Amino acid sequence: MMEITRREEFSAAHRLFNPDFSDEENEALYGKCANPHYHGHNYTVEVTLRGPVDPATGMTYNLADLKTAMRREIIDKVDHKNLNEDAAGFMKNRIPTAENIAISIWERLEEHIEAGLLHRVRLFENERNFVDYYGGR
Residues 110, 112: Cα–Cα separation, whole Å: 5
Residue-wise pLDDT for 73-127, tens only, equals: 999 999 999 999 999 899 998 999 999 999 999 999 999 998 899 999 999 999 9
DSSP-based three-state secondary structure for 131? strand
| Total number of domains in the chain | 1
125 is a catalytic site residue:
yes
107 is a catalytic site residue:
no
Residues 9, 29: Cα–Cα separation, whole Å: 27
25 is a catalytic site residue:
no
Q: Give the HSE-up count for residue 47: Cα atoms under 13 Å, Cβ half-sphere.
A: 30
Q: Which residue in 8, 33, 107, 112 is the catalytic one?
A: 33
Q: Residue range 54-83: average pLDDT?
A: 97
| Domain that includes residue 42, residue range | 2-133
Q: CB–CB of 123/131 below 8 Å?
A: yes
Q: What is the CATH number of the domain that holds 65?
A: 3.30.479.10
pTM of the model: 0.95
Q: Which residue in 3, 9, 25, 80 is the catalytic one?
A: 80
C-alpha distance across the termini of the chain, in Å: 18
Q: Which residue in 27, 46, 99, 125 is the catalytic one?
A: 125
